Structure 1
């Protein structure tokens, strides 16, 4: 199966946009919520813990796992859109 140059460029551009958007979410949650905004988040109780502590210890891991699933779904949809799926 062959894909045109224009289609391949559009596919790659969307692929990079998806990757960058998920990386921004990952950075904001892990660095922002776990380090930068921890003092503000600690004023919010969450299941008996301070929210900033929870994000630093477990929340960012849960978000990261969710991002892996979301990325796989996004890439499957992108592959089908450009007809390069398996």
Structure 2
């Protein structure tokens, strides 16, 4: 058995690691870029608006949607790794 099969504790440990990593990234983008570093980022203009304003209004939402797709892909990989995929 070269694959870890049906080990729920290891599966959830990896799942939580992914969640913490992705939610931390989203927090940094939404809170960091949209609020904390808004003034510095506003020096960069996108369509006439500052980058900090863009992140606060739209960027964090776009990043969140991308992170959903990243999470789905990571979880599909994790399901296959631990034998929880539907094809098995």
CA distance in 2, matches of 1:68, 1:25: 12
Question: Is the helix fraction higher in 1 or 2?
Answer: 1
Q: Which runs of 4+ in 1 moved over 3 A?
A: none
Unaligned 5+ runs, structure 1: none
Alignment of structure 1 residues 3-82 onto 2, 5 Å: 3=6, 7-82=7-82
- Root mean square deviation, CA, Å: 1.2
Q: Please report how far the alpha carbon of residue 79 of structure 1 lies from its aligned counterpart in structure 2 after TM superposition.
A: 0.2
TM-score (norm 1): 0.90
Deviation for aligned residue 1:47: 2.8
For residues 40-75 of structure 1, the C-alpha deviation after alignment (integer angstroms, 9 at most, x for no partner) is 000111232210000000001100000011001110
Any unmatched runs of 5+ in structure 2? Answer: none
Deviation string 1:1-39 (CA, Å, 9 cap, x unpaired) is x83xxx211111100000000000110001000000000
Q: Which has the higher contact order (CA 8 A, sep 6+)?
A: 2
- CA distance, structure 2, for counterparts of residue 77 and residue 47 of structure 1: 38
- Aligned pair count? 82
